[in-house]
Chain A
Amino acid sequence: FGPCRVEGVVLSELWEAFWAAKSTVQNQDDITSVRLLKPQILQDVSDAESCYLVHSLLKFYLNTVFKNYHSKIAKFKTLKSFSSLANNFLVIASKLQPSKDKDMLSISESAHRRFMLFCRAFKQMDTEAALVKAFGEVDILLTWMQKFYQL
């Protein structure tokens, strides 16, 4: 992710974890007219900006989505997928070290504005519905993260 390097991530593992739960989770989301990770949030993100944005998004998923979604897992039988995703997100987030240099301020602020678009959309929804929708949009997040993946 630009200046931030994270090694040892096996993206196909993340995909397989999500695909195992995709149908179950996305079919719980009846609000097809709302998308949290809107195109304008993830489009044209520079390498430098990507580190800040992915760090914010992964932290949000760990601290808000996965943490509160936990109660639904037994009902939806998606524990294996959930754990694999959560663990991988934790590893990636912990390895990301977004720079705190002053000359990166404008870039980090731009990333923050994008992240706030996501947060606002999340908070505008009923919490339960937002949790399900956010989990169902992990594929959008992975597709975007994959662009920064170096072979």
Chain B
Amino acid sequence: ARTTEDTARLLQYVRFQSRNFENILTWGSGPDSTPDTVYSVEYKRYGEKEWLAKAGCQRTTQKYCNLTMETGNLTELYYAQVTAVSPGRKHDSKKTDRFSSLQHTTIKPPDVTCIPKVRSIQMLIHPTFTPIRSEDGHQLTLEEIFRDLFYHLELRVNHTYQMHLEGKQREYEFLGLTPDTEFLGAITILAPMWSKESAPYMCRVKTLPDRTW
């Protein structure tokens, strides 16, 4: 029997995009959608009955919604659902796969300061804070969340020769370099237990000229 509203293909690819625990729900319009199709977002914890409406993402024409605060408990799993309504009483509704930010988040490149000296290059890796808060309310860093996290640093000297450093600390120095020479650094974050690896942060640095006589 025809319902008061017709189901139509107004939605596709309803999914979470998560980077450093910033969890954004995104979706695409479907073949039947029109520019004045509006979308409403709901979310819930896996295991709970009630769907909760996300304020700020009701009857909106945008195709994304920030659910970072609503999906911030690392031990919980979540679902989100988008309902689309188009003029002419057409509607469509799709939900995400079960979402766990611990499993799904990807790690952004680290923030690094590369400091050239005459015969060395120092690399200072800054802590990466996430939106996740601990029980006492402080913002957690990636290091606090992923116990096995470590850094891998590579310095390209020339086409055939690279230097490597690796560890959990945040300060490193490549020594024994030629003065007044350009080098390319690449610094990556790894969390092997979760099979996570960031894209590299790249820095191109030139060692200082040697002015000693």
Q: Do the two chains bind? A: yes
Bound complex: CA of A23 vs CA of B96, how far in Å?
Answer: 10
- Total A-B pairs, Cβ < 8 A: 47
Bound complex: CA of A23 vs CA of B103, how far in Å?
Answer: 13
SS class, residues of chain B in contact with chain A? loop
> Cβ of B144 < 8 Å from any Cβ of A?
no
Which residues of chain A have C-beta atoms less than 8 A from B44's C-beta?
32
Whether B148 pairs with A151 at a CB distance below 8 angstroms is yes
- Asked, given contacts A39-B75, A43-B75, whether A27 binds B49 with beta carbons under 8 Å apart, the answer is no
Which of A22, A26, A39, A149 is within 8 Å of B76, CB to CB?
Answer: A39
> Cβ of B30 < 8 Å from any Cβ of A?
no
Whether A33 pairs with B47 at a CB distance below 8 angstroms is yes
SS class, residues of chain A in contact with chain B? helix
- Asked, given contacts A33-B48, A33-B49, whether A27 binds B97 with beta carbons under 8 Å apart, the answer is yes
- Asked, given contacts A11-B193, A149-B193, whether A143 binds B46 with beta carbons under 8 Å apart, the answer is no
Q: Which chain A residues in 113-139 approach chain B with CB under 8 Å? A: 136, 139
Which residues of chain B have C-beta atoms less than 8 A from A95's C-beta?
none
Bound complex: CA of A97 vs CA of B79, how far in Å?
Answer: 38
Whether A38 pairs with B75 at a CB distance below 8 angstroms is no
> Quick one: closest A residue to B147, CB to CB?
A151
> Cβ of A63 < 8 Å from any Cβ of B?
no
Which residues of chain A have C-beta atoms less than 8 A from B148's C-beta?
151
Q: List 18 A-B contacts (CB under 8 A).
A: A12-B193, A12-B195, A15-B193, A15-B194, A27-B97, A32-B46, A32-B47, A32-B95, A32-B98, A33-B49, A34-B47, A35-B77, A38-B47, A139-B100, A139-B103, A143-B102, A151-B147, A151-B148
